[in-house]
Structure 1
């Protein structure tokens, strides 16, 4: 099951738009929901009113669970909701009971955040798991895209996704968190590039091709708009040039570290084989 939450964990709606994309382009059925006043401050997450056939209807914040048919042999469950304001532990345990009812054993939470990264490079992505013994996020550097990112293990405030990962792991679920970084100087519109990259990583993760439809076109439009913004702002252009240099340097260092790690592993294997021959 993939999970995404509107709000603090969803910069430029990149994470929740992955689920919206899947719901819009595949056969999706809502199979469960959580509707409760206990989890939301309606001053922060306000209900909305809409009119259908001349009748007014209030739409309250709620959690929806979808069964998405990717192909005849592949189904993905998805959970989407505004981030709750209250009772996170109770909310997560209630969500996990639903996951258990649906016979789900793996949960992937999605998140996006603003960071110092350039739009002219692939947006940095991180994949993290939760270590239940030490109660910390376990950062897998081998699953990180090139470039500097703020999504790796760090100290500070957390969102509902981190709590979800922690409690899920404690209750026996295989949990993973995918995070993508978005340039903080482009904090206005939806970031289709981030959604596209997350969709591709998710496809790799579940080993099933996921249709992109118009996402590449939207991502190209996002990049073009960013380039226009830079052309009108010399100070911003200089800032992005600096970010590009930092990004490229980080990429080179990561490549060197991976090569060094590979050399060390080969040497250890060679020494082990030599000991067996003695």
Structure 2
């Protein structure tokens, strides 16, 4: 069964940018696109005749209809469907995400700050969906996925920007690598694999040798986990960045010119809270390009 790309819509600029990105991703993956709008009235809009629900029901229908019209005009090749779900936004999106190939959400921009804030709904959804979730900020356009043309101007005809993935070879990377390599392959884009390491505390006299040893060990560990993926995706150009430092900062630096950043999120048994891990949390708030958060065991 072919699962769709799913996008959550609330009528905001961020969710419309997410819908455009999701439509392009559906085209790349040859998948249908499903639009989901959460209806918090407690019953289906079609079942309720309460006058006080008429206005929000009208706006809910308008959000979906407007998005459908917009996407049909821009991406006529994509098979579209739309649903109003009578649940709270996090519950509706988590349920829809579980039946998706990937879930796409909009992200709000910080006022006067260069990063972006996922918001409580997106954070709650990312923390509980067992499928990849992509966060897209307002203003993202198709040309932002591509390098500038030879004259330095935005273009959709130039090659795709790199896909960047942050990994820790000490943890399971299969799902994260599968998403990152496939995303790079679909775009014919290079893949930059980033691994940051930290030196444990030790006497100063031992630091220089220990630093060299840890660097070499980190490089060998990353090469080992990458080897089967390089073989599986021979057309993907892979570069590695293995440096000492904080993982979040290394990813922020590496993603400055990226078209997509992918990070992992440890699946937690608890259903409460919105914990995503410090690295995923940091990049969701501060990276400009779309961010894919991929859960793993």
Compute the TM-score of the two structures, normalised by the length of structure 1.
0.34
